[in-house]
Structures are given as C-alpha cells and as structure tokens.
Amino acid sequence: MVGRKLLVEGWRGINHSYAMVNQWQILELLRRGLTIRFLDTPFFRQEWNSRNNSGGFDPAQTTAISELRAPDSDEPVDVTFRIAYPYDFSAARSGRLFVFGTSEDGVLDGMVRDGLDIAQARDNGVHVVTPSAWSQQGFLAYGFEPEEVSVVPHGIDPAIFRPAAPGDRQRLRSMLRFGPDDFVLLSLGSMSRNKGVDLLLRAYAALKPKHPRLRLALKDSADLYGWQGQGILRTLMAGPHAAAFTEAVLRDIAFISRNLNIRQMQALYVAADCYVSAYRCEGFNMPPLEAAACGVPIIVTRGGATDTYFDPCLGQTIESRIIEDGPRRALEPDLDALIACIEAAIAAPQATGGAAGSRLVHDRFSWRAVCDTLQDVLFEAC
C-alpha cells in the first residue's frame, strides 16, 4: 500500500452510516501506510453537522480523519473512491473510479446525481462497491454487469465492540435502569418503516403478559432524521393493535433519542440480552453485526442483507416472504416467527452469541479483514 494514493470524495465528521463506514475504512487504510487525500462532499441535508451529529470517534481518531487534506490541483491519484449520496457517476479527475452505494429496495430511481444513466456511468469507468448481495441486485437492475459491482461487507472494531465483563455489564444495566432479572430486547436505527420496528413493538406487546420481566429499548436516529420511536408507537396505538399496548406494556419500553458516541453504543449493546432487527429491506444493517461482536444474540430477518454475515452461532433468523411492487422489492417478516424467535431467546439465553459469536465476528468482519478485501478491489489493477 505504501506509495499508492487514494482520493476519497465523501462525508466525514458525522454519524450517518455512510460517513461512519468511510471513517472506519480510512482509519484502517491509514494504518497500512496508504496516502489518502480527501474532498468533502456536501451532506445530503444542510442541517447535518459534526456538532449535532458527531461520529463519536475518539479524539486521536477524529484528528487523524479531520487532518486529511484535499489534493493539489495537479496531483495525480491512483484511485478515486466516492462514498456519499446521491451517487456521483461523473468522471473522476484521475485514477480508477469507484462509487460506494446501497440499494435497499432494488432500484436506484432518484438516487444518482444528475440522473446519469448506465451508458454514461460505464463511459466514465464507474465500478460500484456495495456491502451485500441483496444490495448488489439494485445496481445490476440499473444495468451494471456483475463484474462491475463488488460486494465488500462492512466491519467492526474488535477493540471496542466486544463483550463486557459480568461486573461491568451489571453496572451498565443498573445505569440504564434494567433489573438483573429483566430480559432486554434492543433495536436501533432511523425508525423508518423498512426497519420493521412496528413488528418488534407488536411482538413485544404480545409477549409481555407471558414474560413480565421482558423489556424493550429503542434507540432512534432522531438527530439525523427527526423520526423517533414514539411516533411508531403512537401510530400503532391509534390503529387496530391499540388494545395490546396496556399500561404494563408501555411502562417497560425505553426510548433513547440522544446522540451516543461509539463507546456508549458498545455499552448499550452489552447491556441488552438480545438484539432484534425485523427489517423489511436494508443495504447491510450494521447494528446487528456490532451487537454480535459484543456477544449479544441477534434476531434478524432471513433472506435479506444480513445473510452476508449471519451465522447460526450468532442467533436466529425470522422467516419472511418477498413483496414485489413493480421493480421494488422488500421482505415481510412473519410476526408469529418473530415472536417464536424471541421466546426461544428468552428460554435459552446462552444458546447463541456469547464468546463464540463475538469471536466469529472479530475473525471474519474486523475492519482489518474487510479492508483486505477493499484494498484488493480498489488496487487490483495498480
């Protein structure tokens, strides 16, 4: 890697998933001695900023990322790598061109800057990097050939996302007001419909009368999108499922909306007993992987993006069926199957996850392992 030069055009300094992936990759590639130049791409929303939407990295990591400079006007680079939104398929100033992207529902409609079509993208030498086989399908539907779309999964930092000692875990649970006998389900994300939080709330409400120590913690991304978990709950309570949300059910739902740094996120994971993502469509879905790295059993939808990293030792998968709406596609997780998965986790909390699950994720999906693949993709012809 020494002597090779990479130009990254993208986002840094905030906690959007694209920016987080970008920054983790940068830190690993810098460790390898790669020379990196950086051009900041405008954020998708003008109000996003590093003060209100901080990425939460440690000071030394933040400094390393923020000190990257733009290339000189005549400075050549070996590879240009774009990781921002909308996707920019215009020609690169120099070097081979790679564009990172995700396709959650199988189409790229409205997601490409200036509406460049596949012919223009191909003329400009675009090669796509996407994190899952599910996401890859959207770029193939756009017109890219399989050899023009590389699947490179995301990763975790084993030094941070790891199990906690029993004493530390109990202390964290106490701080979050989780009792020693509580069984805590955790889910986090933007709280958009594709995350399936409505299904999780319904499953929790159905199980709560039978399992009075069951708790639910929802961490939203309100700082980025403004959507809070309470909004999903209010919608459910205004519809045909209202009767399920009794006072006892509502009392044990915890909503977390404030921004957390990376180490606080690890603390939230290890305080939980099970991470649940009954998603309908995702590009990759990082949180279950981070939770699994912390030794937490996970429950995820079967057949989607998480198939990229799921292993039976990590937890369980929810049966689902594909829903198609023209070219768009999504999964619909089976509610009864979700309930059964949660009950199985309650009945045998040590059956999956733990040290074995954490070790598998650390071995296969550390940023070091992931960037071995990314490095080969970016520099294979250099």
Which residues have CB under 8 Å from 61's CB, separation 6+?
23, 27
* pLDDT at residue 381 tops 60: no
pLDDT at residue 171 in the model = 94
DSSP letter string over 182-251? -EEEEEEE---GGG-HHHHHHHHHHHTTT-TTEEEEEEE-HHHH---HHHHHHHHHTTTTGGG--HHHHH
pLDDT band of residue 1 (cuts 50, 70, 90) is low
Using the predicted structure, report yes or no on whether residue 190 has a pLDDT greater than 90: no
Residue 349: how many CA atoms within 13 Å on its side-chain side? 12
Q: Residue 25 pLDDT > 90, yes or no?
A: yes
pLDDT at 257 over 90: no
Q: Which helix (H) or strand (E) holds 127?
A: strand 126-130
pLDDT at 53: 93
pLDDT computed for residue 2 by the predictor? 58
**Cα separation, 82 vs 88, whole angstroms:** 7
CB 186 within 8 A of CB 275: yes
Tell me: the pLDDT tens digits for 264-319? 999 999 999 999 999 999 999 999 999 999 999 999 999 999 999 999 999 999 99
Class of the CATH-defined domain 5-155+366-379? alpha beta
Kindly report, residue by residue over 355-371, the tens digit of the pLDDT.
999 999 999 999 999 99
Q: Which residue has the tokens 């215009």?
A: 90
Measured in degrees and rounded to the nearest 5, phi and psi for residue 113 equal: -60, 130
Residue 39 corresponds to which amino acid? L
Q: Are 97 and 126 in contact (CB under 8 A)?
A: yes
Indicate yes or no: pTM above 0.75. Answer: yes
Burial class (CB in 10 A: 0-12, 13-18, 19+), 223: middle
Instruction: For residues 44-70, give the mean pLDDT.
Output: 96
State yes or no: pLDDT of 382 exceeds 80.
no
User: CA-CA distance, 318 to 316, in Å (whole number)?
Assistant: 7
pLDDT in tens, 64-81: 999 999 999 999 999 999
For the chain, what is the mean pLDDT? 95
As a whole-number percent, the residues of the chain with pLDDT over 70 amount to 99
Nearest Cα to 229, choosing from 263, 186, 182? 186
What is the CATH topology of the domain spanning 166-365?
Answer: Rossmann fold (3.40.50)
What does the pLDDT read at residue 54?
95
Residue 360 has what pLDDT? 98
Residue limits of CATH 3.40.50.2000 in the chain: 166-365
Distance (Å) of CA 74 to CA 40, 70, 135: 18, 11, 36
